[in-house]
């Protein structure tokens, strides 16, 4: 495999070690795929891991992942946004400091750059996106408009590198804050760690930032149950998922171990990154070799294989039966038999009257054809 031309071997190894998906493959030095992304089955589909079956009732027995975009550096944070005439998939490329957009039948193109080295994304108001950014912020972004920072400090100290986020039923935003973006090629550089822990936070609709939990080593993906009474949080380094009961005020009550991705042969963690939930309450977890699926009780139903390690996932399409998966250098999708939960819209506190002077996010009018960094 050809490695990026402007990364040393040491930098590449560091990036992989610090990646949100742990061991996701880096991109080659080819440009972003500009061909229409119709059905493009993944090549060299890996054999199903012994002891980890295809999840029956979740995908068809002959389901195969389709690659819809490639040539990226490190993709993350996909989100589907309904639009007139269909919809679109938005996702981050962290080292490229850009957010891309993909629509059916067309090539992926840059949508916003710079993105603050965004990671996780959710849909915001009026066509905007809310991004968990490795620059140490949670930002509201829209092409051609000034960046609005929603959170960047806790008790006067800078956040580590917000990683992923989701909206609660009341419009509050939950997000994780591990240290992955503080160093290595997934970092914007020039920042030092100010917090001694990696937190799980809640940003209320009035702009109040509350620390909910600080005992996970590397909190990463998070998602709410269909009834919005349970918050699931992945811990990448341990390969585990913890379930937290939510109190009426949106803070966390008791925690319980929910599930773990584990290689059945070695017994080692298989990574736990982005999380999503379907309407039946099944929990989907991005990890090594594909997407791991657990029942509402935490039992492993199986793994949807993808030919690269998966960093994050989202449901999309009009009926939410496409499961999109980001990997190191490419984006995939697979049809599911159970639709995903439609996530609630976040509600933001009014913007301050005198907003800080921040540069506008630049819209990208041309398809991205630059080599992978």
pLDDT along the chain (373 residues), means of 10: 35 38 37 38 44 88 94 96 92 96 95 95 94 96 93 96 96 96 75 94 97 96 96 96 96 95 85 96 96 96 93 96 95 97 91 59 45 30
Q: Angle at Cα 320 formed by Cα 304 and Cα 130, nearest 5°?
A: 100
* CATH numbers and ranges of domains, the chain: 15-352 (2.120.10.30)
* Amino acid 239: pLDDT: 95
Q: How high is the pLDDT of residue 175?
A: 98
Give the per-residue pLDDT at 181. 87
**How many C-beta atoms lie closer than 10 Å to residue 87's C-beta?**
15
Q: What is the pTM of this model?
A: 0.83
């Amino acid at each position: 495999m050809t490695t990026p031309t402007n990364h040393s071997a040491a930098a590449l190894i560091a990036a992989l070690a610090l990646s949100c998906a742990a061991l996701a493959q880096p991109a080659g030095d080819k440009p972003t795929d500009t061909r229409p992304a119709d059905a493009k089955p993944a090549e060299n589909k890996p054999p199903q891991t012994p002891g980890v079956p295809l999840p029956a009732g979740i995908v068809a027995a002959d389901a195969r992942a389709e690659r819809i975009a490639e040539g990226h550096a490190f993709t993350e944070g996909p989100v589907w946004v309904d639009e007139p005439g269909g919809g679109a998939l938005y996702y981050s490329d962290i080292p490229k400091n850009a957010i891309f957009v993909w629509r059916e039948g067309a090539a992926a193109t840059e949508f916003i750059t710079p993105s603050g080295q965004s990671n996780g994304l959710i849909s915001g108001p009026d066509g905007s996106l809310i991004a968990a950014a490795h620059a140490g912020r949670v930002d509201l972004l829209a092409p051609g408009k000034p960046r609005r920072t929603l959170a960047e400090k806790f008790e006067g100290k800078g956040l580590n590198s917000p990683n992923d986020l989701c909206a609660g039923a009341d419009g509050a935003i939950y997000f994780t804050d591990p240290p992955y973006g503080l160093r290595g090629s997934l970092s914007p550089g020039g920042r030092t760690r100010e917090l001694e822990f990696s937190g799980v936070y809640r940003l209320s609709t009035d702009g109040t930032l509350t620390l909910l939990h600080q005992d996970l080593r590397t909190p990463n993906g998070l998602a709410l149950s269909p009834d919005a009474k349970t918050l699931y949080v992945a811990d990448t380094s341990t390969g585990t998922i913890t379930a937290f009961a939510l109190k009426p005020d949106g803070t966390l009550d008791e925690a319980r171990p929910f599930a773990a991705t584990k290689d059945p042969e070695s017994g080692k963690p298989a990574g736990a990154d982005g999380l999503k939930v379907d309407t039946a309450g099944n929990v989907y977890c991005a990890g090594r070799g594909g997407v791991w699926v657990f029942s509402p009780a935490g039992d492993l139903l199986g793994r949807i294989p993808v030919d690269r390690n998966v960093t994050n996932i989202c449901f999309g399409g009009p009926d939410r039966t496409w499961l999109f998966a980001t990997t190191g250098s490419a984006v995939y999708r697979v049809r599911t038999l159970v639709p995903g939960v439609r996530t609630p819209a976040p509600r933001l506190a009014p913007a301050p009257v005198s907003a800080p002077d921040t540069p506008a996010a630049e819209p990208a009018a041309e398809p991205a054809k630059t080599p992978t960094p």
